[in-house]
Amino acid sequence: MDHDLAALTARLAAFADERDWDQFHTPKNLVMALAGEVGELTAEFQWLTAAESATVLTDEQRADRVRAEIGDVMIYLTRLAGVLGIDLVAAAHAKLDDSARRYPAERVRGSADKATDQPAE
Amino acid sequence: MDHDLAALTARLAAFADERDWDQFHTPKNLVMALAGEVGELTAEFQWLTAAESATVLTDEQRADRVRAEIGDVMIYLTRLAGVLGIDLVAAAHAKLDDSARRYPAERVRGSADKATDQPAE
Amino acid sequence: MDHDLAALTARLAAFADERDWDQFHTPKNLVMALAGEVGELTAEFQWLTAAESATVLTDEQRADRVRAEIGDVMIYLTRLAGVLGIDLVAAAHAKLDDSARRYPAERVRGSADKATDQPAE
Amino acid sequence: MDHDLAALTARLAAFADERDWDQFHTPKNLVMALAGEVGELTAEFQWLTAAESATVLTDEQRADRVRAEIGDVMIYLTRLAGVLGIDLVAAAHAKLDDSARRYPAERVRGSADKATDQPAE
């Protein structure tokens, strides 16, 4: 793992440890906290059109809230990965390798039905 | 941004570009995709006790699913950040600086009510 | 509570009881299950435009999946309310009474900023 | 549909209409709003143990927040169903009929692996 993510992971572990919060940071609870923060991020975008969402950072107050929510999501995702011992970037690349095999560019170009990394059921 | 996250961000941009998927990758849609993947991750943990969640990776099949879901969450979070031009690690640290100020260790040690980085309302 | 919701609540209680699933149906777990199902519902809409989402039920396969996911969301919301002893319809009306006071029609007509029942921060 | 849910559905339609909010209430946006509210509900439970979650309504402040969040979730689920023309209770029963077939009581009694209405993959 690279320095930046390792440093963040270590800071999160120390932050929890000095507050005696490890007791609350079970993977189950951390997944719920992650879900809660993604919910707050979702709420920032719920009434925006696609075009408005593309320029969301031009509104200063909204930009502050979006950055804060994305920060919270990254905090809980990184803490969860740290507690479980999972390398976030490696996990992402592994899933992408998988998607690249199942959705080769020439087959899915421009199609929304395959624009997801899970097959439609 | 460090090499690992920058490399992942670039790979995600190329992956979308060669499939002509940028049209679908509006911030609004990417937030929904992130929410969808976090929902799938949540489903893996919903019936587990806190203790079972701590050893979730000892079950091989479950471990594969958890790593895959965490990979998917990291994919969409990193892609969203890339499209918006937000540095994930910097945003996390900024939020932590904020939380460190509002919840100094000596004040909140061991208390669940402050074991979140947002004040209870 | 009316007959239809009361009947569904009772059926859900019996369904769990005859499978000895009450042990898993803590409010915490039921909230996670609800979040998981809402995640799946979100995934059905993530790449659709607003216009495509309005006609989502005209595609038979997608319609089946959307109805199934909405059914799952209603199942876990109703079960959670049943376990907690909360009347879903009464809770919704109480929140609407609250919103009607805070967002009188003449003040917020046509404005997205108030098109949510929580004030922007 | 029974009187209570029909009355709530009608009230929600009138509420949106008199604020000229139909333009924002596309199914896509309503699904996001639902996800946002479920996120807030999740946040109320994230640090609680299973036992604490079972008595969550005994704490007056927390009880008010939980009822309010459940009210919000019911509002957006009912509004989404109304806009799509889906009967919530019928959809829930249809899914339960399905689950009853796939998970007969005698086969799954007491087992967490089948304590979900979707098969583990």
Hey, what are B21's tokens? 């998927």
The answer as to whether A39 is a domain residue is yes
Task: Give B61 to chain A, closest Cα distance, Å.
Answer: 15
What does the alpha-carbon distance between residue A18 and residue D60 come to, in Å, rounded to a whole number? 30
The answer as to whether B44 is a domain residue is yes
Residues near C35 by Cβ (< 8 Å), separated by ≥ 6? A32, A35, B39, B42, D38, D39, D42
Residue C62 has pLDDT above 90, yes or no: yes
State which residue of chain C sits closest to B37, comparing Cα positions: C39
Task: Give D61 to chain C, closest Cα distance, Å.
Answer: 15
Q: Would the pTM of this model clear 0.90, i.e. be above it? A: yes
The answer as to whether C24 is a domain residue is yes
The residues on C that touch B, with CB distances below 8 Å, are 24, 29, 32-33, 35-40, 42-43, 45-47
Say how many domains are in chain C.
Answer: 1
Chain D residues within an 8 Å CB radius of C21: 110, 115
Residue A121 has pLDDT above 70, yes or no: no
Say if residue A105 is exposed, middle or buried (CB neighbours under 10 Å; 0-12, 13-18, 19+): middle
Count, in order, helices (H) and strands (E) of chain A.
Answer: 6, 0
Residues near D114 by Cβ (< 8 Å), separated by ≥ 6? C19, D103, D107, D108
Residue A14 has pLDDT above 60, yes or no: yes
A118/C47 Cβ within 8 A: no
Chain A residues within an 8 Å CB radius of D39: 35-40, 42-43
Residue D108: what pLDDT?
87
Task: Give B21 to chain C, closest Cα distance, Å.
Answer: 10
**Domain of D83, in residue numbers:** 5-105
The answer as to whether A111 is a domain residue is no
pLDDT tens, residue by residue, D23-72: 999 999 999 999 999 999 999 999 999 999 999 999 999 999 999 999 99
Residue B120 has pLDDT above 80, yes or no: no
Residues near C19 by Cβ (< 8 Å), separated by ≥ 6? D103, D105, D108, D109, D110, D114, D115
SS3 content of chain B, % helix, strand, coil (to 5): 75, 0, 25
Chain C residues within an 8 Å CB radius of D42: 31-32, 35
Instruction: Produce one character per residue of C91-100: b if its CB has 16 or more CB atoms within 10 Å, e if not.
Output: bbbebbeebe
Chain A residues within an 8 Å CB radius of C40: none
Give the pLDDT band (50/70/90) at residue B2.
low
State which residue of chain C sits closest to B29, comparing Cα positions: C46
A-C Cβ pairs (cutoff 8 Å, strict) = 29
Instruction: Produce one character per residue of D58-92: b if its CB has 16 or more CB atoms within 10 Å, e if not.
Output: eeeebeebbbbbbbbbbbbbbbbbbbbebbbbbbb
pLDDT tens, residue by residue, D59-116: 999 999 999 999 999 999 999 999 999 999 999 999 999 999 998 988 888 886 644 4
Q: Which of C49, C100, C117 sits opposite D72 (nearest CB)?
A: C117
Let me know: does B66 contact A62? Beta carbons within 8 Å. Answer: no
The ipTM is 0.91
How many alpha carbons fall within 13 Å on the CB side of residue A55? 5
CA B5 to chain centre: 13
Range list of β-strands (E), chain C = none
Q: Which of B29, B32, B43 sits opposite C36 (nearest CB)?
A: B43
B2/A1 Cβ within 8 A: no
What integer is the mean pLDDT of B60-84?
97
The answer as to whether D121 is a domain residue is no
Residue A113: what pLDDT?
67
Chain B neighbours, 3+ Cβ pairs < 8 A: A, C, D
Residue B1: what pLDDT?
54
Residue D120: what pLDDT?
31
- Side chain identity at residue D8, one-letter code: L
What integer is the mean pLDDT of C39-68?
96
Q: Which of B8, B53, B117 sits opposite A75 (nearest CB)?
A: B117
Let me know: does B4 contact C17? Beta carbons within 8 Å. Answer: no
Q: Which of A78, A93, A95 sits opposite B68 (nearest CB)?
A: A95
- CATH code of the domain covering residue D37: 1.10.287.1080
Let me know: does D7 contact C10? Beta carbons within 8 Å. Answer: no
The residues on D that touch A, with CB distances below 8 Å, are 24, 29, 32-33, 35-40, 42-43, 45-47
The answer as to whether A27 is a domain residue is yes
- Optimal mutation site among D38, D46, D47, interface B, most CBs of chain B within 10 A: D47
A42/D32 Cβ within 8 A: yes
The answer as to whether A118 is a domain residue is no
Q: Which of A8, A34, A53 sits opposite B92 (nearest CB)?
A: A8
pLDDT tens, residue by residue, A60-105: 999 999 999 999 999 999 999 999 999 999 999 999 999 999 989 8
CA D47 to chain centre: 21
Backbone angles phi and psi of D48, in degrees to 5: -80, 145
The answer as to whether D12 is a domain residue is yes
Chain C residues within an 8 Å CB radius of B25: none
Chain B residues within an 8 Å CB radius of D50: 49-50
Task: Give A66 to chain C, closest Cα distance, Å.
Answer: 12
Give the pLDDT band (50/70/90) at residue C121.
very low
